[in-house]
Amino acid sequence: MPQIVVLPHVELCPEGAVIDAVPGKSICDNLLDNGIEIEHACEKSCACTTCHVIVREGFAALTPSEEDEDDLLDKAWGLEPASRLSCQAVMPDDQDLVVEIPRYSINHAKENH
């Protein structure tokens, strides 16, 4: 079973985590199923960027992003070449991933707390 290594995030996963991932399920769902409460303001419908992650290792094993995802990623905070929306990036069958959840998102409701 492939794993997702989540790099430390000050709020969501201060110590980092290593989780067993279900192939064919989105990175977002794998994180949520393992208690890592990544934001997903649009309910995983590819309509926002709050679930943005940076895939530090294993990026090439992911299926390519679609045009809708690419258009949204252009608006993501901290965009990098290995950025993906975790609700759209599906876990591969036999490749571990290392992901970083950016410190900030463009979710204004959360920022105004």
- First vs last Cα of the chain: how many Å apart? 38
- Domains contained in the chain, number: 1
Burial class (CB in 10 A: 0-12, 13-18, 19+), 51: buried
If you average pLDDT over residues 25-41, what whole number do you get?
A: 97
Residue 26 domain boundaries: 3-111
For residue 105, the domain's CATH number is 3.10.20.30
> What is the pLDDT at residue 106?
65
Beta-carbon neighbour count of residue 69 at 10 Å?
Answer: 17
Confidence at 104, pLDDT banded by 50, 70, 90: confident
Give the C-alpha separation, 8 to 35, whole Å.
14
> What is the pLDDT at residue 105?
73
